[in-house]
Amino acid sequence: MVSQKEFTDAAFNQLLGEGKLMASRCKKCGALHLPPKPICVNCQEGDMEWTILKGKGKLAAFTTIAVGLPRMIQEGYGRDNPYCSGIVELEEGPRISARILDVDARNPQKLKVGMPLVVDFLERGEGENKRTLLAFKPV
């Protein structure tokens, strides 16, 4: 499943909208870049290809946020209703920041670094403002 899109943020987001979490891979050294980068930061080569990731990983770092961004406050989150953001380490190696869903953000002590997660896609906005956000949830 290879995309011909350029290695841009717009392309990454379009692919998320299609339910695909995709990275760029350097054809020369094999290094994976997530989010995708057009130049390999390992060997500085510019010959890249898209590769789809399985969407399985584990929680590498997290927080439950009580004082959120304005956008999250608009979604109804706040001091009495915190949300969880985390960094997920994928089976293929790279890490990415994502919303962590379906966890009890009021009891962060119960969340554990290393817990297995699977990818999910959050739809936000409508029409031209429609955007798919990357999320993960417990297996």
Partner 1 sequence: MYVKKRRLGRGVAIVGAGVSKFGSFSDKTSRDLFIEAFNELKQSVDRGIDPKDIEALYLGNHIGEYCEGQSLMAPIIAGYLGMIPKPATRVENACVSSGVALREGIIAIASGLYDIVLVGGVEKMTTLSTEGVTDALGSALDALYETPAGFTFPGIYAAMATTYMDKYGAKEEHFMKVAIKNHNNGALNPKAQFNTTIKDIMNGRIAKAKQKGQPIPTWVDEMEFLKDPKANPVVAWPMKLFDCSPITDGASCLLLVAEEVAKSFTDTPVYVIGTGQGSDYPLYEREDMTTILAAKFAAQEAYAMAGVKPEDIQIAEVHDCFTIAELVGIEDIGFFSPGGAIKAIEEGLTARDGAKPINTSGGLKSKGHPVGATGTAQAAEIWLQMRGQAGARQVPDKDISLALTHNVGGSGPTCAIHIYERR
CB of 52 to partner 1, least distance (A): 18
CB of 97 to partner 1, least distance (A): 4
Q: Which is nearer to partner 1, 55 or 82 (CB)?
A: 82
Site residues for partner 1 per CB under 8 A? 9, 35, 60-70, 72-73, 79, 82-83, 85-87, 95-99, 108, 112-114, 133-134
First to last CA, the chain: 25
Residue pair 38/7 in contact by the 8 Å Cβ criterion: yes
Residue pair 123/130 in contact by the 8 Å Cβ criterion: yes
Q: Which is nearer to partner 1, 112 or 129 (CB)?
A: 112
CB of 2 to partner 1, least distance (A): 23
- What is the spatial order of strands in the sheet that 32-33 belongs to? 32-33, 22-26, 48-52
Q: Which is nearer to partner 1, 50 or 59 (CB)?
A: 59
Q: Please tell me the number of Cα atoms within 13 Å of 125 on its side-chain side.
A: 10
Residue pair 65/87 in contact by the 8 Å Cβ criterion: no
Q: Which is nearer to partner 1, 3 or 32 (CB)?
A: 32
CB of 135 to partner 1, least distance (A): 8
